[in-house]
Structure 1
Amino acid sequence: MDQLFSMLRLVYDGLLITNLIFFSIALIKGKKDFKFIFLYILASILTEGCSYLVEKNYVLILGEQSNAPLFLAFVFIQFIFLSLFYRQHIVSKEFKKWFPYLLFTGLVVAAAPYVWQPSEVMKHTMWASLITIPVLLIMSVFYFLQLLNDKKGYPYINIGIFLAIGSNVIYLTSIKFQEDVDHWAGRITMIINLFTTIALHILLLYQCYKYFKSQTRPSIT
């Protein structure tokens, strides 16, 4: 089980690097629609890299070998960038009107416990994720409904986001029930969560591939 998890982590890391390259090229070619997804991928890579340094004890955070602050920072960065992606592509005037309030409220509610008790930053807590992920899921559903009426858009990105963050919130809420179960059972839930994250990045890559394919034109001979 541990070997499978390690193998999936390698696949995930490879997809992160591949997507960073492909989305960088797309941005250079002028595909501004992908800018927030690119920033999300970049944040994922930086989080993974910094977590590795902490895990190997090369870097300490506030004198502790804990990646909890990195995880917390990523939760907020993920919320901001994916929210801005939906703000960019959901055309509803009502959504755009209420978006700043939704984003601000989500950030304030998610950050409040860490402001009141800063020591919580050094702990692996679920609060920020359980506040921000449902908001992203709501945005994802809004975008799904839009795509049903307007075929133009990025369905593969949206499906990937929905699967990955939906699985993530299920995984986080199940953690406290895993305390008294065997190691392998906990590993299974981690593998399922990682698998959906890999699925997200495969779908991101496929959406980017479709963009590149749309830019090719048959040569005239």
Structure 2
Amino acid sequence: MEVLVLFKINNLYLIHLYFIGQFILLGLFYKTLLGNNPLQKKIVVISMYSGLLVLAVQYLFEPELFFKFNLLEIILTSLLVVFFALLYLYNMLLNNKRYYYITVGLIIYLLASTVLFLVGNLTIDLSNDFKLITWNLNAFFVLVNQLFILYEWNVSFRTNKAI
């Protein structure tokens, strides 16, 4: 993306790879975690196919959205992943707390970044300082998410070996 910016080439279309890739990977992640409940797995799979179908139809009829923030894509992919995470969090009430902190971090990050990306189209005509604030806020929430992942790793996977 940085190379495209250096050559003054629009790189906004790459954000679609990010959102759709995140949606597919996290959807599959939560589908795997919901392995004990076939109904919930089916809900995740149907939601994923439905979401991808809606986006494919939208891009078919509005291909110019490849070069803009696609608000439907942002809302649909992020909120479906939040729904999957909340479904898994609900299941954790009775079961073990595996991937609890990752799930909480994802929910916080996705809700916050969804709002910030929705503001993306609105900030195009605003000052660079204001745009920088929104992207710095997004970077902060990425950091918060990474800290939740690090804490999960520390709690779940780190071996405490005495030297």
Answer whether TM exceeds 0.5 for this pair. Answer: yes
Which gives a bigger RCO, structure 1 or 2 (Cα 8 Å, sep 6+)?
A: 1
Structure 2 counterpart SS, 1:68: coil
The answer to whether residue 90 in structure 2 is matched with residue 148 in structure 1 is no
Q: 1:95 to 1:203 in 2, by over 3 A?
A: same
Q: Does structure 2 conserve the Cα–Cα contact (< 8 Å) formed by 1:110 and 1:132?
A: no
Aligned residue for 1:56? 6
Matches within 5 A, 1:196-207: 196-207=141-152
Matches within 5 A, 1:120-159: 120-159=65-104
Structure 1 regions of 5+ residues with no counterpart?
A: 1-50, 58-63
In percent, how many aligned pairs have the same letter?
21
Q: Does structure 2 conserve the Cα–Cα contact (< 8 Å) formed by 1:160 and 1:199?
A: yes
Higher relative helix content? 1
Q: Aligned partners of 2:14, 2:118: CA distance in 1, in Å?
A: 20
The answer to whether residue 32 in structure 2 is matched with residue 82 in structure 1 is no
**Normalization by structure 2: what TM-score?**
0.85
Q: Aligned partners of 2:93, 2:106: CA distance in 1, in Å?
A: 17
Q: 1:123 to 1:186 in 2, by over 3 A?
A: closer
Equivalent AA in structure 2 for residue 78 of structure 1: Q
Aligned residue for 1:11? none
Q: Aligned partners of 1:116, 1:200: CA distance in 2, in Å?
A: 35
Task: Compute the RMSD of aligned alpha carbons.
Answer: 2.3
The answer to whether residue 70 in structure 2 is matched with residue 70 in structure 1 is no
Matches within 5 A, 1:16-55: 51-55=1-5
Task: Tell which deviates more after alignment, 155-164 or 91-100.
Answer: 91-100
Structure 2 regions of 5+ residues with no counterpart?
A: none
Q: 1:181 to 1:68 in 2, by over 3 A?
A: closer
